[in-house]
Structure 1
């Protein structure tokens, strides 16, 4: 990780090549390989990844009704992210629901929210110039990948699936957009014993049949909670689409 003083040391020209990774508790602590692979992806794209110090997001506090604690946590985190934003370096988070918390729940902070921006992975990737990508054709033996997007993500950001599909097309990877609803994990909901039956029932409504149509290695899930739910029920953990994109780029170098 890198603190604010260290971030301020490079000059503006050097900072232009940096990308700041904003951590979330779920991915960093329970699926850290995704964060590591995002760093590798940033490097593969010719940029320098910098892992920001972990700052609690507060979303879990908000969901469980601890609004005063959420306000204190979010105010502290917003102050830090506003300081970092002054360096004009892209800030990116790997789990979209947690990134979207900065845009939604953080509005309750009023002026203390500030104007910092944290992007999702696909939002940041979409800003890169065309020259970043080498055109590629899908090989006939390359399996089609299947994108299962997080329900909150694709509701708040309707272009999510199309952007990912376009990004994969640029590296010659065919991708299906799989139409599914909520996976049933719904953040902490599915982890609570009292909700287990409901959680499994929701998964059966759309995800179970859709997952069964593909081989495990074909499936990508953008949400940490979705990957956890698939792992719990179908006993394999899908990759985050950024990990598959990294594989596509690595194979071509």
Structure 2
């Protein structure tokens, strides 16, 4: 459990074994298995996960143009995250679009008042630390996994797919990147009744053709919005890459 006083009292060596998990509203409230499995993964890797208290991210406010309200939300959450960042323990979130919101939209509306903190995506936390984790042998005759990355993740972090591939290789698995564009959800766009048809048309351009020819149980999707789009059009519940890693470690 999160206890600022206890965490503050840890030695630097003890802190290096801890991970602070930053919750986002969509994953925590609508796809909580992903957060739970990330906690389990961190434990299996020999680290101590600490789930931070939920603080609103404000991404939905920004998308819908409620910029004054978003600025208030961002200021409050940034103040909390900057305080926690003083512990010098990594902050990690599981949804790339929400993590990137802390870097881009927060900086845009808060400027120098944003404070000094950095929230990492799961792959940004795992990739530089691979040497600390035991290498697994390549599994014989194992089906590859397939990565469907979030479009914001791909544009803002062009090495994301390559780094996810290296992470899976370290743990003895093959991860192939699937070349897809936007899934058609585009934040809240796909949830609007009058946009449903267009959202589905966009989904059918690249996501559906690729999913139709692959084993959906082996398809891994980083973005919550993309997973929810697949769930409603295919009737399946896709996994996040950290959930597949949990089975490999």
So what's the TM-score if we normalise by structure 2? 0.97
CA distance in 1, matches of 2:139, 2:165: 13
- CA shift for structure 1 position 6: 3.8
Q: CA 1:168–1:4 in 2, change beyond 3 Å: closer, same or farther?
A: same
- CA shift for structure 1 position 155: 0.8
CA distance in 2, matches of 1:105, 1:33: 27
Could you say what secondary structure the match of 1:102 adopts? Answer: helix
* Structure 2 partner of 1:52: 52
* Structure 2 partner of 1:136: 137
- CA shift for structure 1 position 178: 0.2
* Structure 1 partner of 2:91: 91
1:120-135 paired onto structure 2 within 5 Å: 120-135=121-136
* Structure 2 partner of 1:229: 229
CA distance in 2, matches of 1:81, 1:186: 26
* Structure 2 partner of 1:112: 113
- CA shift for structure 1 position 129: 4.4
CA distance in 2, matches of 1:78, 1:176: 36
- CA shift for structure 1 position 127: 1.9
- CA shift for structure 1 position 16: 1.6
Contact 1:3 1:52 in 2 (8 A): no
Contact 2:130 2:170 in 1 (8 A): no
Contact 1:138 1:174 in 2 (8 A): no
1:135-174 paired onto structure 2 within 5 Å: 135-140=136-141, 142-174=142-174
Could you say what secondary structure the match of 2:176 adopts? Answer: strand
Q: Does 1:29 pair with 2:26?
A: no
User: Can you list the C-alpha shifts for 1:6-65, whole angstroms capped at 9, x where unaligned?
Assistant: 432333332221000000000000000000000011011110000000000111111111
Aligned residues: 248
* Structure 2 partner of 1:75: 75
1:233-252 paired onto structure 2 within 5 Å: 233-249=233-249
- CA shift for structure 1 position 190: 0.7
Which 5+ residue runs of structure 1 have no aligned equivalent?
none
Q: Give the 4+ runs in structure 1 shifted more than 3 A.
A: none
Could you say what secondary structure the match of 2:199 adopts? Answer: helix
Could you say what secondary structure the match of 1:152 adopts? Answer: helix
- CA shift for structure 1 position 3: 4.2
* Structure 1 partner of 2:204: 204
Q: CA 1:3–1:195 in 2, change beyond 3 Å: closer, same or farther?
A: farther
So what's the TM-score if we normalise by structure 1? 0.95
Q: CA 1:63–1:3 in 2, change beyond 3 Å: closer, same or farther?
A: farther
User: Can you list the C-alpha shifts for 1:151-189, whole angstroms capped at 9, x where unaligned?
Assistant: 111110000100011111111111211000000011111
Could you say what secondary structure the match of 1:220 adopts? Answer: strand
| Structure 1, 125-134 or 198-207: larger mean CA deviation | 125-134
CA distance in 1, matches of 2:233, 2:204: 10
Contact 2:18 2:49 in 1 (8 A): yes
Which 5+ residue runs of structure 2 have no aligned equivalent?
none
CA distance in 2, matches of 1:226, 1:37: 18
